[in-house]
Amino acid sequence: MVIYVNNVEQNGGRKASGKQQCTTKNFDVFVTCKKQIDPCTYLITFGYYNDNPGLTFTIPHGLDNRFTGGSIIRGESDTVFYPGLYNDAFKIRISCGTTVVWHLKGPFGPKSVNTTAPNQNLCIAPIKPYVNCITPSTSKPGVMEVTFGYEYNDTDTVNIPAGADNVLNNAAWGSPITQFLPGKHDNVFTAEFTGTNMEWHLKDYTNNTYNIKAYNQYAGTCVEAVKPYVKCILKNNDGSTTAFFNYNNFNPTAHTILKGSRNYLVGESLPTSLPENFNTGYNDNIFNATFTGKELKWVLIGPDGVTRYAIANDEYCRVCDASDNISGDRIITNSYPNPAVENLNININTLKTEGQNYIVQVCDMFGKTLVRNQYTSNDNNVQLPLSELKSGMYVVNVFCNDVKETIRVVKQ
């Protein structure tokens, strides 16, 4: 081993003084791999080797730690370099056809490495497609339905456009997915065929080619849908709207659909907690979300691979009433009977009306006020006489402390 004292090479068995620091000059940077993650983007992984035991070097971003060349889509270099070998120190994303150079002035002089370094399989994971199930179509005689899944053991999403490297052969209907997320994903899309077989041909960025065939001799049990629904909406005093959602899982077993690309909200919504575990059957009052725009969309890709939406807005979604039992924070906790003949009973949440008088108003469907009564906070059970009203639909509004809640009642 060569010994350096104050960065000067010492030979001939000379000893270093206790006041002098012994280091080696082995400090280097390199490109671990370059991986294409879509047709116009590369992911570059950098590493470094600091063979100076016990010594950590800090090199801030600037002239001594910078990138030159093409523009970087995302990412920046490390600034702290620990002793040891680090193959996966940090990553950047660059556009195709771009060369970026990482310049680093280390403890023993400048280092540089550029992104033209060739791909290395160390950082590339294959995408492995497979058939989930095949079953005869229930609506199209002679047609077979097949659902596909895939497994991708990596950390970055990649895109493979539809075309020669990503195509369904002999398909009567359907198209392959083009975006591949990390992990194992069942039932990501469905297709149909009428011949003896259909093939999904996929060539990924590792140059692995898969030809996955579905044959009509096999008829397994394919998964069914998980469908989202909007139960009702409530208008809030601040101009926002709260939507309440349900779902129906048509499968005989529960399914997990994680939040993310297969389970998300679209719209200007406040933070909320989406369900991830979907029990079999119809499930009521699963979650609510408050939004400030024109609509809120719950997007759910079920185990059958079909994307479904539940859209809450003023035009398509009905206003919640007491029979929905949507929240213990409501003024109206219950109302009955509905339809009503003589009287409508309304139970009031005294915690919400404590110390406040409230008003109950009955209107016809044209907005004309027919009844308007005021009550004290001690009156938690209201009995509205309806005997003098004609048969039909009526709107009942309850006002308390600038809050309005509405129910609809049918008078027989």
Domain locations in the chain as residue ranges = 3-122, 127-215, 226-313, 324-411
Which of 63, 151, 157 lies closest to 110 in space, CA to CA? 63
What is the spatial distance between Cα 326 and Cα 324, in angstroms, rounded to a whole number? Answer: 5
CATH number belonging to domain 127-215: 2.60.40
Which of 35, 92, 87 lies closest to 69 in space, CA to CA? 92
Cα–Cα distances in angstroms (integers) from residue 384 to residues 204, 362, 411, in the given order? 69, 9, 12
Q: In what order do the strands lie in the sheet with 307-313?
A: 263-266, 295-301, 307-313
Cα–Cα distances in angstroms (integers) from residue 283 to residues 53, 96, 172, 324, 328, in the given order? 59, 48, 35, 13, 18
Right CATH for 324-411 from 2.60.40.10, 2.60.40.3080, 3.40.50.2300, 2.60.120.260: 2.60.40.3080
Tell me if 212 sits within 8 A of 129, measured CB to CB.
Answer: yes
Which of 190, 160, 198 lies closest to 174 in space, CA to CA? 190
Q: C-alpha angle with apex 88: 82 to 92, nearest 5 degrees?
A: 110
pTM: 0.40
Residues 6+ apart with CB under 8 A from 173: 191, 192
Residues 6+ apart with CB under 8 A from 69: 98, 99, 100, 101, 114, 115
Q: C-alpha angle with apex 10: 5 to 13, nearest 5 degrees?
A: 120
| Ordered per-residue pLDDT tens for the chain, 412 residues | 333 333 333 333 333 333 344 445 688 898 888 877 777 888 888 989 998 888 899 999 999 999 998 889 888 999 999 988 887 788 898 988 889 999 999 877 899 999 886 655 456 678 999 888 888 887 888 898 898 989 998 777 888 899 999 999 999 999 999 999 888 888 789 899 998 889 999 988 777 889 998 887 655 556 677 889 998 888 776 677 888 889 988 777 788 888 888 899 998 776 677 888 898 888 887 888 888 888 899 999 877 667 888 999 866 557 776 566 665 456 776 777 777 888 888 887 766 667 778 888 888 877 788 888 888 877 778 888 888 888 887 888 888 776 777 777 778 8
